Structure 1
Amino acid sequence: MARYLGPKHKLSRRIGKCIWGKPDSPAAKRPYPSGQHGANLRRKMSVYGTQLLEKQKIRMHYGAIMEKQMRRYTQGDSESLPMERAQELLDGVAYTLSTQLQAQDLSPQALLTEDLDKLLAEGQQTLRKQLKECQRLYEGVRRTTPDIDNVSQKTTLQSIEGFFGRYDTMFFPQRIPCDIDYQLCHPAPESERGVGYVWRYLGHLAIENELLSHFETKRVISVLQSFCPDYRGLLINLYEPIAANAIGLAILGESICPLDIAQENRERLEKLFEGRTGREVHALLQKGGQAVCGQMGIRQPEARRYLLEAAAQLEPRISATLSSGGLKGVFTSIG
């Protein structure tokens, strides 16, 4: 965004207050448009005119705060700032303000009435708090991650560890300065950015760790070896095959602890699913997911919802594999 070089006081009077934070601004004493008729102007503004003025207010508010942010970033030499970097700075301002609006449960209209400098500073403080909370969540995830030796999971956690030292709450909070390669069963929303994305990613990973940690590590590894012999090196999700086997055993009324779905149990599942509609298969899977939550003592709503969504994802796979002669690609046997 280019630096505004026009008449600042005139614009401030048109809006009704100074948006550049100058205590001696004429708008403080004369909060009305300039000109001999400005103080007595009684003309009713049209709806379009009102909307246009609101847009101009937002543009000028952002322009003022953006100018200050550019000066801070360049230490006064804002003329040499490339356009791409200026756009990133603007994006960072928008992200910070949006974060603070959510934190205070304010609507976007508050940008027209709130002190944006104060709102930006509060937003940066909120981001620093979120960063600390995210780091605590990360430490919990590291403690609960099973020793399965999956390369992408290890390197992702190592990269996220460096995120907390590289994250820039002042200028570029929308960035995610780390490499996240490990695939989740349910990805973090793409709409999330910055520390918000890492928080959601770690939250999902914590849920996956909770389920994996319920079983003996050697059994988990045995299922993974049967499911994908190169489970260490390939970009696979470790949660999905374990959740699928647990759900399958629960549908059969068996204990989920062994994790093994032998051939005879797979045949029992085939008979249960054969001839059923997609809706009926979905209902069976949801019932199995609920039973897994019961056996594991999962009470947290988000963790329950996560598992039930994983159960729902099995329905199209079951329909496809049944038509091709079995459920071997869905439910895994150990050995």
Structure 2
Amino acid sequence: MNELMQSPALSIEETRTFAARLAALLAWQTEKYTKGESSSVTVETAQELLASLRYTLAIAAEEMHIPWERLLTEELPPLIRRGQELLQGRLERAKQLWAAAGRTAPGLRNVYYADTLRGIGDYFKRYDLYFFAHMKPPCIDYPLLVAADEALQGLDFTEEYLKRMLTENLILSRFDGGAVRALLRTVHGGIEEAYLNLCEQPLTNELGLALLGKDARSLHIGNAEQEELLYLLQSRTREQRRQLLRGAALGLCGELETGDAWSRGYVAAFAESLLPRLDAALSAGDVSNIFIAASG
């Protein structure tokens, strides 16, 4: 979508034409924003209105398969109206994702998780698809296993964030709650106010156990398992370790019944993200800070 709006293939003349068309579109939108009472707004507001127009235009152009060249001649206000119709549907879809995230939230009290979920709900109440459609929730504090692309705007970002949160909720629901609590308390002490991803350490331990062919759902890593993992991973090249982690992740998805292609890719991406930490741990000859033994 961003490529459509920022194509490097525009000639100087086309760039001027498109800029003039956007300026006219902004004047049209400004009049609507001020309800005809003024033809001018602050520079900051104008910038936000223009960003919203570009985002909405891209939504419509993508859905209607309109190449960027046609935006030099196509009537733009009808495209904006079509984009707004599409955004209304997207808003309802995002609300459904948010409701599902609330229903499946892990039974682990964490203020960052709770505040983020609450903040997204407030964002939906204030979301203005007509004038500020590109705006993202300002309240995203809870860290994901694999962060959503910050370059995404508006509901694109919000849906992507919630989809990842839902996948993590599903993964956590497959673990024993007591084992998860014990593991997280070992790593972070108090869970409630800790800035952490609730799924990260349980899934990391599960990957370690899967690499050893042991019961992954138990989450139990002891000194023996840490030594086995150290030997297994030190004896492999980095590329072999990447393949081992990816294979373990994909196998776990079947065991955890998170079998759709997107979820498999997400878990595999997290597994591969462990490689830099593993490199350092293997150099030090100690993986106990990655595959952690729960105390108590």
Same fold by TM-score, threshold 0.5 exceeded?
Answer: yes
2:274 to 299, 314, 317: 314
The alpha-carbon distance between structure 1 residues 52 and 310, as it changes in their structure 2 partners (threshold 3 A), is closer
Alignment identity in percent? 31
The alpha-carbon distance between structure 1 residues 80 and 114, as it changes in their structure 2 partners (threshold 3 A), is closer
Mapped partners of 1:74, 1:196: distance in 2: 27
2:216 to 238, 256, 262: 256
1:283 to 243, 257, 260: 243
Matched AA of 1:144: T
Corresponding position: 1:302 with 2:262: yes
CA contact (8 A) 2:30 2:39 kept: no
Any idea what the Cα deviations from partners look like across 1:211-257, whole Å, max 9, x if unmatched? 11111212111111112213321221122111111111111111212
Mapped partners of 1:319, 1:56: distance in 2: 50
**1:67: which partner in 2?**
27
Alpha-carbon distance, 1:77 to partner? 2.9
**1:12: which partner in 2?**
none
Corresponding position: 1:218 with 2:164: no
Corresponding position: 1:81 with 2:41: yes
Unaligned runs of 5+ residues in structure 2 are 1-9
- Runs of 4+ aligned residues of structure 1 deviating over 4 Å after TM superposition are 50-53
CA contact (8 A) 1:174 1:194 kept: yes
**1:245: which partner in 2?**
205
Alpha-carbon distance, 1:51 to partner? 4.4
Any idea what the Cα deviations from partners look like across 1:167-223, whole Å, max 9, x if unmatched? 010111111244110011111111111111111100111111111111121211111
Q: After the TM superposition, which of the residue ranges 125-134 and 218-227 deviates more from structure 2?
A: 218-227
The alpha-carbon distance between structure 1 residues 202 and 84, as it changes in their structure 2 partners (threshold 3 A), is same
2:166 to 170, 183, 206: 206
Mapped partners of 2:229, 2:206: distance in 1: 13
Q: After the TM superposition, which of the residue ranges 289-298 and 95-104 deviates more from structure 2?
A: 289-298
Corresponding position: 1:104 with 2:30: no
Any idea what the Cα deviations from partners look like across 1:68-105, whole Å, max 9, x if unmatched? 11111112233451122112111111111011111212
> Where do 1:1-335 residues align within 5 Å?
51-335=11-295
Any idea what SS the aligned residue of 1:187 has? coil
CA contact (8 A) 2:137 2:158 kept: no
CA contact (8 A) 2:230 2:285 kept: no
RMSD across aligned positions (CA): 1.7
Larger Rg, first or second structure (1 or 2): 1
Flag the structure with more relative contact order, 1 or 2, with Cα contacts below 8 A and sequence separation at least 6. 2
CA contact (8 A) 2:30 2:40 kept: no
Mapped partners of 1:265, 1:247: distance in 2: 12
CA contact (8 A) 1:162 1:178 kept: no
How many pairs does the alignment contain? 286
Mapped partners of 1:54, 1:329: distance in 2: 56
Alpha-carbon distance, 1:58 to partner? 2.0
TM-score by structure 2 length?
Answer: 0.91
Matched AA of 1:331: F
Alpha-carbon distance, 1:269 to partner? 1.1
Alpha-carbon distance, 1:60 to partner? 3.0
Unaligned runs of 5+ residues in structure 1 are 1-49
Q: After the TM superposition, which of the residue ranges 279-288 and 194-203 deviates more from structure 2?
A: 279-288
CA contact (8 A) 1:243 1:310 kept: no
